[in-house]
Chain A
């Protein structure tokens, strides 16, 4: 419940109390009695003391109302003479659903200060005057941190009395942002600074249709007729028997001799032997 809703609720209660004050005391008591009777007709487990709480809640609420009257004393509130039928209890109509138990709709739920969450801000630490205050402050901080997000605090410098923790060697490395990631990342629009690009010429995007024509499938060959007997015999082609004659003839040929110099021929001639 937001503070504005709380204020609106209190204002409605204030008007209601004022009306009750103007009305005779018996009528108020009868009205409360009726409510008491209605509540007592539907006993709820664990809410046996509900009539007493209703009775006391009226008295308890009167005190903060007096404080509120001083806050709104400058405002001139016009008091209207309205009957009970004309009065619409906005608080119950807005805040109490049908399934809400009677205890939740009781005036004790007006103790809204417990439900208000503290702001998510950190206060400047104040040096404690004594050890008891320091322990009490630490306890309250722990209690506050359990219920809300802890703001980040800057670690003390290394030169201070407390050394900053060294980074762990096994820590995961910072991922490098590649150029491709930057280009592919979506770019937030820059308000009205969008540029309208001209459409590229259509001729550059022309694609020859002939290159992408789907291949025409050849007409399927008609299935071969299956013999009536149902047996299919393969066509076997065997290699003919090799010829028994010699595949080639070997003829001895004298190696040619063509000396390139006179000395070569002289040596060859001296090498001749007469057997």
Chain B
């Protein structure tokens, strides 16, 4: 069954008379500069930043789930990237893509307005969107980062904690992906 394509037509509504911006009939939005928001995030704690990011991502996940409907469980990779990436694009968070490294689900975000300082915020947004859309307890770990793009891997909470330690220890993201696919001890 083919999923409907993401259609952004008439999603944003600018009411200049009232001075309000609406996204798909939801609560009013506020257009703020990215740098101001990033400066605020710098002074917030990790938990506050994570909760803030998940709250932003939950809104994107809800709209994605509403668009796919009952076909979300069977939605293809392209369909989910189309809808989730479209909603994140409407929020101005960059361009979302998906990579599959073996069994590892990896998202890439390009042209984020936050830069390297906003990676944690962006990871929290994707994390909140997947939890809302797929209904699973997931953690998103920043795997790599370059000038224009960042790579995010979707893992379970215990695995995400171990991967963070590996990354802090200086393990390359390729080695991390390789380790994730190595068989556990006791397995053939």
Which A residues contact B (CB, under 8 angstroms)? 257, 259-263, 265-275
Contacts and interface: CB of A to CB of B under 8 A. Distances in A.
Given A257-B102, A275-B182, A270 B155 contact: yes
Contacts of B76: 260-262
A105 to B, nearest CB: 130
A267 B154 CA distance: 10
A33 B186 CA distance: 152
B155 A272 contact: yes
22 contacts: A260-B76, A262-B75, A262-B79, A263-B73, A263-B74, A263-B75, A263-B134, A266-B154, A269-B105, A269-B153, A269-B154, A269-B155, A270-B138, A270-B154, A270-B155, A270-B156, A270-B159, A271-B156, A272-B103, A272-B159, A272-B180, A273-B158
A259 B138 contact: no
B181 interface: yes
Given A269-B104, A274-B166, 12 more contacts: A260-B76, A261-B73, A262-B80, A266-B138, A268-B105, A271-B156, A272-B155, A272-B156, A273-B180, A273-B184, A274-B179, A274-B180
Interface string B109-152: 00000000000000000000010001010100000000000000
Interface residues of B, number: 32
B37 interface: no
A273 B184 CA distance: 8
A263 B105 CA distance: 10
B162 A271 contact: no
B134 A266 contact: yes
Nearest to B106: A269
Contacts of B134: 262-263, 266
A274 B180 CA distance: 5
A267 to B, nearest CB: 8
Contacts of B72: 263
A262 B78 CA distance: 8
A164 B73 CA distance: 95
Nearest to B100: A265
B130 A272 contact: no
A185 B136 CA distance: 94
B102 A265 contact: no
Contacts of A269: 103-105, 153-155
A275 B185 contact: yes
